Amino acid sequence: MEMNRVASVPAAVTVAFCRVTPFVYLRRGGRASSRVRLFVTSSKMEQEPSGGGGGGEEKQHWVGEWYSVPDLRLRGHRFSVPLDYSSDITTHRHCRISVFAREVVSAGKEDHPLPYLLYLQGGPGFESPRPTEASGWLKRACDEYRVILMDQRGTGLSTPLTVSSLSQLPTVEKQADYLKHFRADSIVKDAEFIRVRLVPDAGLWTVLGQSYGGFCAVTYLSFASKGLKHILLTGGLPPVGTSCTADAVYRACFEQVVHQNEKYYKRFPEDIPVIREVVHYLSEVGGVLLPSGGLLTPRGLQTLGLLGLGSSTGFERLHYMFERVWDPILVPGAERRISYFFLKAFENWVAFDTNPLYALLHESIYCEGTSSRWSAHKVRGEVESIFDPIKAVKEGRPVYFTGEMIFPWMFDEIHALRHLKEAAHLLAEKEDWPPLYDIAALKNNQVPVAAAVYYEDMFVNFKLAMETASKIAGIRVWVTNEFMHSGLRDGGGKVLDHLLGMLKGKKPLF
């Protein structure tokens, strides 16, 4: 993205260590200037705005310069936040990380007194969108809001946790201990930290949560509702309550995954023998090396369903991938091989190498006071007669893809995840996860909430979503089969416009 001016904050997050805990060391006092001086010592790199003072106190907020993309004006904000909000900050004042948020307004509205809307991205472990123009839901939001695109901690420019950065933590125990601070409870505390420093007079803001961002928004509603004006949810009503364990969630999800597989093969019946042939080949040769050094196996192939079965145009993209699965035979009798095109497309689609938090923390988003113990793997064992790819080939059945599930063997077969295998096992065994939702608070909710619930959502089960809706006082729910899980992105401004209409009384109650 091309910028008109250089921002007044560094383009990269600087991390130092305090007992193997990354932090950003900042100064308080004075306004952020257009220049940043870097002071490097043997133990840390300090970032100090030129001309800043403050007597050594910590600065918590940097503001960048405005820049432009077509029809939008944007600027970046960086905040120094505690890694662990439960710690005594006076004794752990340097155990901090940086959280980045991008402010977006329609061109010409930089100084308008607009209400604030915080957008929470799906995930876990994915950064907020990078706008290149005014389009889709963002264009609609900017009609009346000052939009804040927050990179959730550990993603994008918010002290990103990558395979390489996590390797700085010297033991798997320290990796797991560090990673426990990157769930929705901490994300909500970051949002509140930002709200009181960004919104004038620490006023209220509206939160728009897509998918996992909606999970975070319901956590927000549970524990910090005093900061909220409205909540908008798109495919993001999480399973709540003691009965909604990870096992219960995956059992429900596998049912919808079967349905999506059936729909896919009805759309593209010619793919049935092609995929069976690929599975047979992979099983015969013991897997095929991927460009990154990982291994593509029959069960790895099945993970293409994560995006192929659950998002708009996913069916088509999956089909077109398999059109080019084989290298052409240029010389009669040459050995048949899976094409580099297919292997590269496979890795590009499952982006675990660039966003490892998704694999590491996905099951933990369903855990409160209990461990997941590789729940998806366990539940798959209950339906293995349906999902066993080798058995499907032998019986002449379609090979079913899996859905939004992380399995322990991924940390062997995906090259980028191998070094995180032991930490992933520790997180899967962790039992003392703190609560993510407060059902009593939700039942007494007074914040207006509007939610789009997609009837055939593969990622967020419809039945579980509706059970959660019944526990949130005053919520208005729009049930539709017009969109899939990616409806907010796919529908232009339609989904957001419908939800705003529900909040403003423009849509009938029944």
The residues assigned a catalytic role are 211, 432, 485
Q: In degrees, to the nearest 5, what angle opens at C-alpha 446 toward C-alphas 443 and 450?
A: 90
Please state, in angstroms and as integers, the Cα–Cα distance from residue 196 to each residue in 23, 128, 493, following that order: 21, 21, 29
How far is Cα 467 from Cα 451, in angstroms, rounded to an integer? 13
What the block records as the tokens of 6 is: 């250089």
Q: Cβ(390)–Cβ(298) under 8 Å?
A: yes
Q: Cβ(366)–Cβ(375) under 8 Å?
A: yes
- Count CA within 13 A, CB hemisphere, residue 398: 18
Amino acid at 22: P
Q: Which residue has the tokens 């064992």?
A: 381
Please state, in angstroms and as integers, the Cα–Cα distance from residue 426 to each residue in 5, 355, 358, following that order: 45, 19, 16
305 membership: H or E segment, kind and range: helix 305-308
Please write down the HEC assignment for all residues of 127-143.
Answer: CCCCCCCCCHHHHHHHC
Q: Does the N-terminal peptide bond of residue 82 adopt cis geometry, omega within 30 degrees of 0?
A: no
Beta bridge partners of 225: none
Outline where 335-478 has alpha helix (H): 340-349, 356-361, 375-382, 384-387, 389-395, 410-413, 421-429, 439-443, 462-469
Beta bridge partners of 102: 76, 149
The 8-class DSSP code of residue 98 comes to E
